[in-house]
């Protein structure tokens, strides 16, 4: 996928936004060709230097940017020249999907193996052992804790897990 196509993809735009946040999005959404300094980016985009540096560092941590240092021979100051590598985005997104799948599978197991009680007035959910410790009364409102069915939540999680497995071409008994 070409650089421009990546940046026009709404999923990738959302991914970049989640990484760098709204203040860093101008940096992520308009990567220059070749090397650029953080100062040049800040000036070009009209952003605070610290916001640009924060976004660059986040992109670096996610293998979407790299830098090289150049020392000014007169002043001894270091200049960081940044290069963007958005070709790693599809792989990063796939890794995120695997992490989400693992987390959902773990949570599904938790939901299936625990019994829950709910305090309707407070909107607080308790595991059986917590409810028992409270004498099946809400510690905030004193209202009785009622048994809570989580079948709808379990079914929704099962559907989402199946969708992720289909998208990732993963079998149920996978060994990543």
Structure confidence by residue, pLDDT tens digits, 10-67: 888 888 999 999 999 999 987 888 899 999 999 999 999 999 999 999 999 999 999 9
Provide the pLDDT for residue 1.
44
Same structural domain for residues 67 and 117? no
Same structural domain for residues 124 and 138? yes
Beta strand 78-84 with 36-37 is antiparallel
Model confidence pLDDT, tens digit, residues 110-123: 999 999 999 999 99
Q: How many CB atoms lie within 10 A of CB 53?
A: 19
Give this prediction's pTM.
0.69
Q: How many CB atoms lie within 10 A of CB 46?
A: 7
Same structural domain for residues 115 and 48? no
Provide the pLDDT for residue 172.
63
Band (pLDDT 50/70/90 cuts) for residue 4 is low
Give the DSSP H or E segment for 148.
strand 146-148
| Residue 163 burial (10 A CB sphere; 0-12, 13-18, 19+) | exposed
Residues 145/134, Cβ–Cβ less than 8 Å: yes
160: containing domain: 90-168
Q: Evaluate whether residue 173 is within a structural domain.
A: no
Model confidence pLDDT, tens digit, residues 155-175: 999 999 999 999 888 876 544
Q: Evaluate whether residue 117 is within a structural domain.
A: yes
| CATH number of the domain that residue 55 is part of | 1.10.10.10
User: Assign residue 105 a region: left if phi > 0, alpha if psi is -120 to 50, beta otherwise?
Assistant: alpha
Provide the pLDDT for residue 154.
96
Q: How far apart are CA 148 and CA 118, in angstroms?
A: 6
Average pLDDT of span 91-100:
91
Question: What is the number of domains present in the chain?
Answer: 2
- Residue where a domain terminates, one of 32, 57, 84: 84
Same structural domain for residues 163 and 99? yes
Percent of all residues in the chain with a pLDDT value above 90, rounded to a whole number: 73
């Amino acid at each position: 996928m070409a650089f421009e196509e990546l940046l026009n993809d709404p999923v990738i735009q959302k991914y970049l936004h989640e990484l760098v946040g709204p203040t860093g999005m101008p940096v992520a959404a308009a990567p220059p060709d070749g090397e650029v300094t953080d100062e040049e980016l800040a000036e070009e985009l009209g952003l605070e230097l610290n916001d640009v540096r924060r976004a660059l560092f986040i992109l670096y941590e996610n293998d979407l940017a790299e830098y090289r240092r150049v020392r000014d021979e007169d002043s001894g100051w270091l200049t960081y020249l940044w290069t963007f590598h958005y070709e790693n985005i599809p792989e990063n997104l796939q890794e995120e999907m695997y992490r989400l799948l693992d987390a959902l599978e773990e949570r599904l197991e938790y939901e299936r193996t625990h019994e829950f009680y709910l305090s309707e007035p407070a909107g607080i959910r308790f595991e059986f052992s917590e409810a028992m410790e409270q004498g099946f009364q809400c510690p905030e409102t004193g209202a009785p804790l009622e048994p809570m069915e989580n079948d709808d939540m379990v079914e929704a999680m099962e559907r989402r897990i199946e969708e992720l497995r289909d998208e990732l071409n993963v079998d149920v008994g996978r060994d990543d």
